[in-house]
Structure 1
Amino acid sequence: MKTNASQPLELEQRQGGLLSQPKAVWAIAFACIISFMGLGLVDPILPAIAEQLHASKSQVSLLFTSYNLVTGIAMLITGVISSRIGIKKTLLTGMLLIVIFAALGGLSNSIGGIVGFRGGWGLGNALFIATALSAIVGLSTSGTAKAIILYEAALGLGISVGPLLGGELGSISWRGPFFGVAVLMAIGFIFVTFMLPNVPKPKKASTLADPFKALSYPALLILGITAFLYNFGFFTLMAYSPYVMDLDEHGLGYVFFGWGILLAFTSVFVAPKLQKRFSVVSSIAAVLTLFTIVLLIMGIGTYNHSPQTVIVCVIVAGIFLGINNTLITTAVMQAAPVERSVASAAYSFVRFLGGAVSPWLAGKLSEWYHAETPFYFGAVMVFLGVVALLVSRRKLAHVDRAEGH
């Protein structure tokens, strides 16, 4: 079901609660959980990979860089593909690529090989996540806002369970998490195959130019730039903090599990309340400012050789990132008068570029300067995102009005 993203939110609301969804939506949500596991799954095994494959922090961080870079660039073609072969075939193609490249990553014997296969994993991830958001919103019986909350809940659960599973399997072998995702995504592939109906293709096929045209709308571009900047903080936390917590695979898995649980909880239960009470722009600016403070404290904790400080901050950061994820994703769906899938692809292209540069840069900054430098740099970039958001607030007025209604 395709609707114009510029339509008022109330026109899209339908009867039905958050949990009252068709089986197809639950099948996609389950697959989303598995897909998002891939983001945090490698966190607990980063130090182990660095040690066993004799790689530097910046080299190992390329696992995130290749994944995010390919995901971001591939976002530009997701609409072209899905509008021609259909949503179901696009989802299944993405899932199949994740299964193949996750398994190949587990079989690899070099850091270069893993980095390359993570790039292929990113291609599958792009085809899947851009289409999944559009499919969940289109097939949901509870309206856009609740559908996005369900999507963010799946994201939060995947991000939280991923490190926990990665820690357990990683304690056996660093290869374990890769094979684990391959198996789970294969199960998700079967669910989507049999439970998702063939969604009709749009009457007009998307072109490669559509995401770039979408970015000509100031509101969507501003949200993309904000996400690009805060991803420097997000992926500094994800890709670099495991090196300064002095924990084994189990410990890192539990820390990021706690982080992900808070992320999932706040994205589902706290973000909607803030959305109703305050403007979406003010709420995003507030939580990103708090995240900036958390990153600064992590830098101070690292400088003072206090792993406990970093551990607590990582978990607490989940509160603010969960709220931000839901608010900014909902805002993106209302930012420009284009198809949801096009808006999602354009926004994701910009933000994933930040996710591609930041993990590698965090590792390099620690090698060039000091162990705490990546956190300070991440804090500065996140704060710049807040500034960009507030300076351009007038261009986001229609988003605030839609959310407030």
Structure 2
Amino acid sequence: MTSPATEPQGSFLKQPRAVWAVAFACVISFMGLGLVDPILTSIAKQLHAGADQVSLLFTSYMAVTGVAMLITGFVSSRIGAKKTLIAGLVLIVIFSAVAGAMNSVGGIVLARAFWGLGNALFIATSLATIVTLAAGSLKQAVLLYESALGIGIGLGPIVGGQLGGISWRAPFFGVAVLMFIALVATAVFLPTIPTQGPKTSIADPIKALRYPGLLVVALTSLLYNFGFFTLMLAAPFPLQTSAANVGWIFFGWGLLLAFNSIWGAPWLESKIGTVASIVFALVGFAALLAIMALWTTHKPVIVVCVILAGAFLGNNNTVIPPLVMGSAPVPRPVASASYSFVRFAGASVGPYLAGKLLVHNIHSPFWMGAAATALAVVLLLSFKRFVPAASAPSHGSAEEAEVLETADLD
């Protein structure tokens, strides 16, 4: 059966209301990643907490998101895409509001954990839903998803920063309101999408890690995300500025990440190849983290490096996920869940360790991030023989391959 996204039907902006509802929810969902970054120092100050304690806002969110990836296929293959999306949105609405109502860092950390569960259910299903329902070509459907991702990542820090200037609670309540609107729109406009294919077992993503290619790519991504989450946690502290200013800085980071995810990464990959483009981005990001470690007390250096880091992260966010799909002879949803489990759950340790190191030495978290990212380069090059040379997957239709060659399945 041909999906609506496979037939060109005019401009990609002319989409069914159901597609716009899911795309809007994608924007708000991806905002959650950078939302808390500008308010970390405010939360630490007003709740009398240390950097090691507020680091758990990232750790709990990412750890639960990663572990929950093991059950997303199990859930969606049984109750369908619409119910899975709605379940994820309901959890995000409830626990983003709960986070804003808490009076302790521990309470916020717990709420962020349940928020991560909702986020996993939603993001694991949203791309497939947009591709199924969108009008126009597959590339147009993927572009719509990528645009929502980029806008969400870019808006997260600025929304968090501006609302955080009012109160550290305001960003959490703001997300709850926006996600409730997205929940209503999704429930009203999104039709029921029947489940297709075999039901997925919870154990399938774990079993897939026995394939060396998938394991190498997943561990590489774990290490670079270790550096990424370290940057997210550690950068606001040496800046010692307002939540609004931190928001603007990370807004620049998000814009560069979005631009490179959509346009820069495909161009670079076409010029130097998949593995080489990943290595280039890893080396560049490791160098930025090392520069930040050397000149941590120089605020202009931190600002410039944070913004430039968006370009390298945007490259790998686009190039690595399609590579994952061709790294093991398993269904793509299983490979994606396996990869997401390793990189999110494993890398969630990064901000926790960074918070611990910040208490003792403000330079050390950046050195840790640089070392982890450099180790990713060593790992990828040492076991390059296990990684498929091309990013096109070996299973499924040519139409599906086209999606995975262009989509960021994060």
Both structures adopt the same fold (TM-score exceeding 0.5): yes
**AA in 1 matched with 2:211:** Y
1:182 equivalent in structure 2: 176
1:28 equivalent in structure 2: 22
Alpha-carbon distance change, 149 to 278 in structure 1, aligned in 2, over 3 angstroms: farther
- Selected match of 2:194 from 184, 200, 205: 200
| Shift in Å, 1:26 | 3.2
1:90 equivalent in structure 2: 84
- Is 1:52 the counterpart of 2:43 in the alignment? no
1:102 and 1:179 in contact (8 A); partners too: yes
Question: Is the partner of 1:125 in helix, strand or coil?
Answer: helix
Moved more, 12-21 or 312-321: 12-21
In structure 1, distance between residues paired with 2:289 and 2:183 = 38
Question: Is the partner of 1:191 in helix, strand or coil?
Answer: helix
- Selected match of 2:222 from 228, 236, 247: 228
- Selected match of 1:19 from 12, 24, 35: 12
Alpha-carbon RMSD: 2.3
1:167 and 1:251 in contact (8 A); partners too: yes
- Selected match of 1:191 from 160, 185, 195: 185
- Is 1:324 the counterpart of 2:333 in the alignment? no
2:368 equivalent in structure 1: 377
- Selected match of 1:37 from 10, 31, 38: 31
- Selected match of 2:163 from 169, 194, 215: 169
- Is 1:365 the counterpart of 2:357 in the alignment? yes
| Shift in Å, 1:140 | 4.7
In structure 1, distance between residues paired with 2:324 and 2:55 = 28
Alpha-carbon distance change, 186 to 214 in structure 1, aligned in 2, over 3 angstroms: same
**AA in 2 matched with 1:382:** T
1:148 and 1:326 in contact (8 A); partners too: no
> TM-score, with normalisation over the residues of structure 2?
0.90
Moved more, 277-286 or 176-185: 277-286
Alpha-carbon distance change, 79 to 145 in structure 1, aligned in 2, over 3 angstroms: same
In structure 2, distance between residues paired with 1:115 and 1:18 = 43
| Shift in Å, 1:355 | 3.1
2:125 equivalent in structure 1: 131
**AA in 1 matched with 2:261:** S
- Is 1:287 the counterpart of 2:278 in the alignment? no
In structure 2, distance between residues paired with 1:221 and 1:27 = 35
- Is 1:312 the counterpart of 2:309 in the alignment? no
In structure 2, distance between residues paired with 1:191 and 1:332 = 32
Question: Is the partner of 1:331 in helix, strand or coil?
Answer: helix
Map Cα deviations across residues 49-96 of structure 1 (whole Å, 9 max, x no partner): 000000010100100011011111111111111011001100110011
2:327 equivalent in structure 1: 335
2:382 equivalent in structure 1: 391
- Selected match of 1:247 from 241, 246, 251: 241
Moved more, 338-347 or 97-106: 338-347
Alpha-carbon distance change, 397 to 229 in structure 1, aligned in 2, over 3 angstroms: same
Moved more, 383-392 or 97-106: 383-392
Alpha-carbon distance change, 324 to 219 in structure 1, aligned in 2, over 3 angstroms: same
In structure 2, distance between residues paired with 1:21 and 1:209 = 40
Map Cα deviations across residues 279-316 of structure 1 (whole Å, 9 max, x no partner): 111111111110110101111111xx201100110011
Identity of aligned residues (%): 54
Query: What does residue range 55-74 of structure 1 map to in structure 2 within 5 Å?
Result: 55-74=49-68
**AA in 2 matched with 1:280:** T
In structure 1, distance between residues paired with 2:284 and 2:52 = 27
Moved more, 245-254 or 328-337: 328-337
Alpha-carbon distance change, 148 to 236 in structure 1, aligned in 2, over 3 angstroms: farther
Question: Is the partner of 2:388 in helix, strand or coil?
Answer: helix
Count of matched residue pairs: 393
- Is 1:273 the counterpart of 2:264 in the alignment? no
- Is 1:76 the counterpart of 2:67 in the alignment? no
In structure 1, distance between residues paired with 2:162 and 2:371 = 34
**AA in 1 matched with 2:383:** S
1:149 and 1:267 in contact (8 A); partners too: no
> Which consecutive unaligned segments of at least 5 residues does structure 1 have?
4-11
> Which consecutive unaligned segments of at least 5 residues does structure 2 have?
394-404
| Shift in Å, 1:239 | 1.1
| Shift in Å, 1:149 | 4.8
2:340 equivalent in structure 1: 348
Map Cα deviations across residues 213-237 of structure 1 (whole Å, 9 max, x no partner): 2222322222211111001110111
In structure 1, distance between residues paired with 2:80 and 2:154 = 31
> TM-score, with normalisation over the residues of structure 1?
0.91
Question: Is the partner of 2:291 in helix, strand or coil?
Answer: helix
**AA in 2 matched with 1:131:** T
Question: Is the partner of 1:399 in helix, strand or coil?
Answer: coil
**AA in 2 matched with 1:94:** G
- Selected match of 2:294 from 284, 300, 306: 300
Alpha-carbon distance change, 65 to 306 in structure 1, aligned in 2, over 3 angstroms: same
In structure 2, distance between residues paired with 1:158 and 1:400 = 26
Question: Is the partner of 1:272 in helix, strand or coil?
Answer: helix
Moved more, 340-349 or 230-239: 340-349
1:284 and 1:328 in contact (8 A); partners too: yes
1:149 and 1:326 in contact (8 A); partners too: no
